[in-house]
Amino acid sequence: MKKFLLQVERNCISGALLLLPLFVFGLILQKVWGFFQKYGEKFAKMLHLDDVFGIVAQDILGGLILLLLLYFSGYLMRLAFLKKFTSWIDDKLMIFLPGYEKNKKLAEEKLKKKVKTPNTNLPVLLKNGEYWQPAHLIEEDTEGNVVVFVPTAPSKDQGQIFVVKTDSIKKLPDTTLGSLDASIKSLGKGILSFK
């Protein structure tokens, strides 16, 4: 019985740790959406779109205002002052909002997956003596140097970083990082078919 109660206590604490950041994020999202929805309602009444589309007009215009604000904020982020200001706000949010840093990192990772940068984080084979090792191309410069990450099987996230010349690697343009990582996890199965 004592073991069962300890298990219940652990599960409740784990559940609270999982749900608390999601709850805070949901509240923030609800407040932000409510703000833009209010202005969407004003524009819908001003343009008489609420007569045509009804209550949906405030959601549509609120969403458009939010998208326009996000788009133009991207241009403003190029200014150094605003970058410092947003970094300061991030620091304060990390102090006062539990789970903010974790959720921010997850969002940044998802955005990085959608925005592809050329010639970085590509699957390659690294020449090491008489044999080739699967690796990730991390960075390239104009002088013929490359930075590669060689994962230690079966983990794709642990390994070593090497700086080598471009002629020491063979790019695999028809291979995805996902298939390379899956091959590393399965101790090299399928690497011979990579091109």
Answer yes or no: do 104 and 132 share one domain: no
**CA separation for the pair 171, 184 (Å, rounded):** 17
- 188: left (phi > 0), else alpha (psi -120 to 50), else beta? left
Answer yes or no: do 16 and 71 share one domain: yes
**CA separation for the pair 74, 38 (Å, rounded):** 23
Answer yes or no: do 68 and 106 share one domain: yes
Which CATH number belongs to the domain containing residue 166 in this structure? 2.30.30
Domain edge (last residue) among 114, 145, 172 = 114
Within 13 A of 77's CA, how many CA atoms are on the CB side?
8
pTM: 0.39
Domain that holds residue 180: 122-193
- For the stretch 36-64, pLDDT in tens is 888 888 888 888 887 878 878 888 888 88
Task: Check if the beta carbon of residue 139 is closer than 8 Å to that of residue 164.
Answer: no
Answer yes or no: do 141 and 103 share one domain: no
Structurally, how many domains does the chain consist of?
Answer: 2
CA 42 to chain centre: 34
- For the stretch 176-195, pLDDT in tens is 877 888 888 887 787 777 77
Domain edge (last residue) among 95, 114, 133 = 114
Domain edge (last residue) among 86, 114, 142 = 114
Answer yes or no: do 94 and 6 share one domain: yes
Structure tokens at 40: 């969407």
